[in-house]
């Protein structure tokens, strides 16, 4: 009589085990084989789906083949951010902290910040330089630096905001901010000394690792940062490092206090006593958890393409001198340098004039039978040849891509380089300190 009961218990235990195993298997779906590749290339799959859907719609309308080619090519060209300031483009990538991305402290693991950053960077590159990728280009990663402010708890939804910071003759620096929506509940006052404190374990307790990121701005007591005197005068080398801490400037302003003095006690020290620094705030009030700075370069094969050239060939430029909305550059009102890009991309294929003053596409010509046709487009071979070395034949004073990114864009680029250069040089110098 006891055998059926024991069999029922064993069956229940087995079903429970299978249910738990299946639940864990599904919860870790983002760590399945090839899941990383799917997440990274998802923007490409979406673009291809839209492209194939457009082809199907054109096929069903029974349009001539020449007209279909013209519409499809115009669709490709409209992906480029023509007339946009490169510093105004901010690509957002939304995701959540799943169980497979979190550690034993139940928050996003440090390694997963870099793993998920690949998807956000790829989405940004595709939005910023679609034509560059169509020429066979790619973006190589040279370095990444992370600065952690707050932990991201398990199950939290967060957003990655990717934007360009600066570039030089080879490297382009991309910043990514990990943020969460602001909480509606009132947070505890930072002045309360009991906030964020943890009870001390018993003297005979078993050791347990605890590596939480403090939520109070990484306050470290009354220690004195390097380059800062104990009386709070803030003397140092005057640079503004990307992480925004030390060297006389805790808020990371672009001017960096180049005179080497942190007037106003910007490093958060007053009369030799450390105070809790304010965390960087997002314009919309979102909570910033981490900032990542990536050094990347544009490549076609093994050839490096100057960042200014790659950006200008996809339409980025400085805004016009006049700030009126009617004169803002766009696809219908392209910037002056766009005529050079159209010549490389085959402007006449869409019936567009080469002159920059002709902003609107001309009608597609008709053949003797009355059907619209478009001249054969030379493709992107000319643009690829220019990107891979043809630009060197242009005299420095006639390099239109540098002129297109002048003015306020150049001023901001220089200010951005002043911020990231100390970080890049510091990382390079670490290698010389390490002996074999």
Task: Look at residue 25 in the predicted model and tell me its pLDDT.
Answer: 83
User: How sure is the predictor about 324, in pLDDT bands with cuts at 50, 70 and 90?
Assistant: low
Identify whether the C-beta of residue 336 lies closer than 8 Å to the C-beta of residue 357. no
Task: Look at residue 383 in the predicted model and tell me its pLDDT.
Answer: 94
Exposure b/e, 294-327, CB count within 10 A at least 16 = b:
bbbbbbbeeeebbbbbbbbbbbbbbbeeeeeeee
Rounded Cα distance between 367 and 50, Å, is: 30
Task: Look at residue 208 in the predicted model and tell me its pLDDT.
Answer: 57
Q: Could you give the percent of the chain with pLDDT greater than 70?
A: 68
Rounded Cα distance between 256 and 240, Å, is: 4
User: All domains of the chain, ordered by start, with CATH?
Assistant: 14-79 (no CATH), 81-182+283-349+378-435 (3.10.129.10)
What is the pairing mode between strands 273-274 and 287-300? Answer: unpaired
User: How sure is the predictor about 315, in pLDDT bands with cuts at 50, 70 and 90?
Assistant: very high
Whole-number mean pLDDT of the chain?
Answer: 77
pTM as predicted: 0.72
pLDDT tens figures, 124-152: 999 999 999 999 999 999 999 999 999 99
Task: Look at residue 117 in the predicted model and tell me its pLDDT.
Answer: 96
Task: Look at residue 116 in the predicted model and tell me its pLDDT.
Answer: 95
Task: Look at residue 173 in the predicted model and tell me its pLDDT.
Answer: 97
Residue 366 pLDDT > 80? no
pLDDT tens figures, 407-421: 999 999 999 999 999
Residue 430 pLDDT > 60? yes
Rounded Cα distance between 52 and 259, Å, is: 58
Q: What are phi and psi of 215, to 5 degrees?
A: -95, 15
Residue 4 pLDDT > 90? no
Task: Look at residue 418 in the predicted model and tell me its pLDDT.
Answer: 94
- 50-57, long-range: CB < 8 A, 24+ apart: 51/75
> Using only C-alpha atoms, what is the Rg of the chain?
28
> In terms of Cα–Cα distance, which of 71, 77, 43 is closest to 313?
77
Show the tokens assigned to 266: 């910007």
**Is residue 147 classed as helix, strand or coil in its secondary structure?**
strand
Identify whether the C-beta of residue 131 lies closer than 8 Å to the C-beta of residue 312. no
- Burial classification of residue 107, based on how many CB atoms lie within 10 Å of its CB (0-12 exposed, 13-18 middle, 19 or more buried): buried
**Is residue 297 classed as helix, strand or coil in its secondary structure?**
strand
Over range 156-169, report the average pLDDT.
96
Show the tokens assigned to 73: 């090519």
Lowest mean pLDDT among 115-129, 272-286, 291-305: 272-286
**Is residue 337 classed as helix, strand or coil in its secondary structure?**
coil
Query: How many angstroms from the chain centroid is the CA of residue 204?
Result: 47
User: How sure is the predictor about 206, in pLDDT bands with cuts at 50, 70 and 90?
Assistant: low
**Is residue 397 classed as helix, strand or coil in its secondary structure?**
helix
- Classify residue 21 by its DSSP letter: H
Higher pLDDT, residue 119 or 212:
119
Identify whether the C-beta of residue 260 lies closer than 8 Å to the C-beta of residue 235. yes
With left for phi above 0 and alpha for psi between -120 and 50, is residue 389 left, alpha or beta?
left
């Amino acid at each position: 009589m006891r055998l059926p009961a024991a069999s029922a218990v064993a069956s229940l235990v087995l079903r429970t085990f299978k249910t738990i195993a299946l639940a864990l298997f599904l919860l870790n779906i983002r760590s399945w084989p090839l899941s990383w590749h799917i997440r990274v290339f998802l923007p490409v799959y979406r673009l291809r789906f839209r492209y194939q859907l457009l082809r199907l719609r054109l096929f069903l309308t029974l349009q001539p083949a020449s007209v279909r080619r013209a519409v499809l090519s115009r669709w490709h060209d409209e992906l480029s951010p023509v007339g946009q300031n490169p510093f105004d483009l901010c690509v957002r990538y939304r995701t959540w902290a799943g169980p497979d991305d979190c550690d034993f402290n139940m928050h996003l693991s440090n390694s997963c910040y870099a793993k998920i950053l690949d998807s956000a960077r790829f989405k940004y590159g595709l939005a910023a330089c679609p034509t560059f990728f169509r020429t066979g280009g790619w973006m190589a990663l040279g370095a990444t630096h992370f600065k952690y402010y707050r932990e991201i708890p398990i199950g939290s939804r967060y957003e990655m905001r990717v934007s360009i910071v600066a570039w030089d003759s080879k490297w382009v620096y991309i910043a990514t901010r990990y943020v969460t929506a602001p909480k509606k509940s009132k947070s505890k006052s930072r002045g309360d000394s009991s906030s964020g404190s943890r009870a001390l374990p018993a003297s005979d307790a078993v050791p347990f690792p605890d590596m939480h990121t403090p939520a109070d701005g990484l306050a470290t007591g009354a220690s004195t940062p390097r380059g800062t005197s104990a009386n709070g005068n803030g003397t140092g080398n005057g640079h503004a490092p990307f992480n925004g801490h030390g060297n006389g400037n805790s808020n990371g302003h672009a001017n960096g206090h180049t005179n080497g003095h942190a007037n106003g006690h910007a490093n958060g020290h007053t009369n030799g006593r450390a105070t809790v620094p304010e965390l960087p705030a997002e314009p919309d009030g979102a909570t910033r958890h981490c900032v990542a700075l990536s050094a990347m370069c544009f490549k076609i094969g093994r050839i490096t393409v100057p960042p200014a050239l790659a950006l200008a060939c996809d339409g980025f430029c400085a805004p016009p001198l006049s700030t009126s909305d009617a004169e803002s550059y766009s696809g219908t009102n392209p910037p002056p340098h766009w005529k050079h890009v159209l010549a490389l991309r085959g402007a006449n294929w869409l019936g567009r004039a080469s002159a920059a003053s002709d902003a609107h596409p001309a009608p597609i010509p008709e053949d003797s039978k009355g059907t619209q046709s478009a001249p054969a487009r030379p493709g992107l071979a000319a643009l690829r040849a220019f990107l891979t070395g043809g630009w060197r034949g242009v005299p420095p004073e006639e390099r239109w891509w540098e002129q297109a990114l002048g003015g306020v864009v150049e001023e901001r680029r220089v200010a951005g380089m002043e911020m990231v250069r100390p970080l890049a040089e510091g990382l390079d110098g670490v290698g010389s300190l390490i002996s074999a």
